[in-house]
Amino acid sequence: MPASNSPARDSLLDRARSAFSDRYGGAPSTVGRAPGRVELLGNHTDYNGGLVMAAAIDRGTVVVGRRREGRDASVFAANYGETDEFSIDAIDRPEAGTWARYTRGVCWAVSGWAGPLRSGFEAVVLGDVPLGAGLSSSASLQASFAWFLIAMGAVPDESPRVYSGESGDAPLMELAQTLRHSENEFVGVGSGLLDQFSSLFGRADHALALDCWRLAHERLPLGDPAPAIVVCDSKTSRRLADGMYDRRRAECERIVSAYCDRIPVEGGLLLSMISREWLEVEWKRLDPVGRKRARHVLSENDRVRRGIEALRSGDVAAFGRLMSASHASSRDDFENSSEALDRLIEAAESAPGFIGGKLSGAGWAGCTVNLVEADRADDFAEAVRARYAQDTGITAEIHICRAEAGASGWTMQ
């Protein structure tokens, strides 16, 4: 069994096992586990073919289960007390916005990638990633479920490669793309690769960098001692699928369509492939909104480039300053922050141990992510909580996290 450094992880697993024996009787044979993530730099750059940096965190999802005779699947979501039953040979879409869309979507996409699943199964899913907060509970659910299927031997052909990890990261990147395909085509959310990549590729005390166009990636140490990753939940929430995300995506596509006659690219032009010089030469092609969005995405790619350099040279303070600049660019040019998120960032900036902070994920609500000197994380949390409550009347929920290993799966004896 892979070692877990986290007592919270182990207790999640124990609770999932006991929910399994209550619901199905006996013991599960197999576990899949996957973390949520924070976005450290690269806000709304992923679907624009740009650069992102993230970290997997020690909040996640576990799936425990075992094979079943026949071709039926039963999945019990312990957080909701709900069961979903379906045939693995005819996977249709449940209602939008349900957890079952994600788990069925994984079966659908993995079957399309590696061939029909070998057997039916029964499984329990349990997670502790705060929902709707921008920490990608959904990618954590997808990745843990995929690893459960792989570790159980339900996935033909590709499974030994992925499971043993012997062939390195290439099959994992294929799995990340398969899970993104599931979210885009089955679940119906047009997100980029950031979330699935982060949940699968995480490493303890490391940041993850991804070039979403070339699919090159790197794991970079966050320092020694690594700073705490402090997630401040504004307790305001907005669903990714409820319109604003798609609107921003469409605005970015409009920018690209203003340039694609001048810059033909096989496979389609993406915003990150347009240089700043080019944009500025042809600036008049864009309306004021387009100019702001373009300025954000291109300057954000630049900040990620500098962020990678900063971590390569061990300069976490410089990395922190880039995070704060990223927040300002999201707020002013991409316009996906909110009053609550801005207040949380202001509270963080004056709190002890602050290194840098920004909104995390889609934006408009949810969480900020802050790097904080590890031994001052508790003081930091207390100061932010007090100041945010004073400014807004809302009690923020604060999670002191560390960067964790990515998804894994194993069988239990």
HSE-up (13 A, CA, CB side) for residue 293: 22
Backbone angles phi, psi at 251, to 5 degrees: -65, -40
Could you say which residues in the range 342-361 bind ligand GLA, by CB under 6 A? 361
For 47-136, where are the alpha helices, taking DSSP H only? 99-114
Residue 107: name the closest of 127, 121, 91 by CA.
Answer: 91
Q: Supply 293's token pair.
A: 């969005």
Measured from the CB atom, the residue of 39 and 58 that comes closer to ligand GLA is 39
Contact between 301 and ligand GLA per CB under 6 A:
no
Nearest approach, Cβ of 142 to ligand GLA (angstroms)? Answer: 11
Cβ atoms within 10 Å of 392's Cβ, excluding its own: 17
Nearer to ligand GLA by Cβ, of 348 and 369: the residue is 369
- The answer to whether residue 192 forms part of the interface with ligand GLA (CB under 6 A) is yes
Q: Print the binding letters for residues 31-70 with ligand GLA: x by CB under 6 A, - otherwise.
A: --------x---xx-xx-----------------------
The catalytic residue among 58, 84, 128, 195 is 195
CB nearer to ligand GLA: give 190 or 221: 190
Q: Tell the smallest beta-carbon distance from residue 146 to ligand GLA (Å).
A: 17
- 32 Cβ contact partners less than 8 Å away, ≥ 6 residues apart: 62, 63, 143, 144, 145, 146, 147, 148, 149, 150, 151, 407, 408, 409
Whole-number Å distance between alpha carbons of 288 and 285: 10
x/- string (CB under 6 A) for ligand GLA, residues 306-345? Answer: ----------------------------------------
Q: How far apart are CA 311 and CA 242, in angstroms?
A: 35
Q: Which is nearer to ligand GLA, 66 or 101 (CB)?
A: 101
* C-alpha distances in Å from residue 42, one per residue of 202, 264, 327, 359, 377: 17, 25, 10, 11, 24
Cβ distance to ligand GLA smaller for residue 111 or 360: 360
Closest CB 349 distance from ligand GLA, rounded Å = 22
The residue (of 135 and 383) whose beta carbon lies closer to ligand GLA is: 135
Query: For the chain, first and last CA: distance in Å?
Result: 9
Binders of ligand GLA: how many residues, by CB under 6 A?
A: 11
**Cα(402)–Cα(410) distance, integer angstroms:** 23
- The answer to whether 211 contacts ligand GLA (rule: CB under 6 A) is no
As a dihedral over the C-alpha atoms of residue 78, residue 80, residue 81, residue 87, rounded to 10 degrees, the angle is -80
Question: 332 an active-site residue?
Answer: no
Residues 86, 120: Cα–Cα separation, whole Å: 9
Nearest approach, Cβ of 361 to ligand GLA (angstroms)? 4
Residue 213 CB, nearest approach to ligand GLA (Å): 14
Rule CB under 6 A: is residue 195 a binding residue for ligand GLA?
A: yes
Cα distance between residue 299 and residue 16, in whole Å: 44
Phi, psi of 385 (to 5 degrees): -60, -45
User: In the set 31, 64, 78, 194, which binds ligand GLA (CB under 6 A)?
Assistant: 194
Positions marked catalytic: 195
Residues that bind ligand GLA (CB under 6 A): 39, 43-44, 46-47, 191-192, 194-195, 361-362
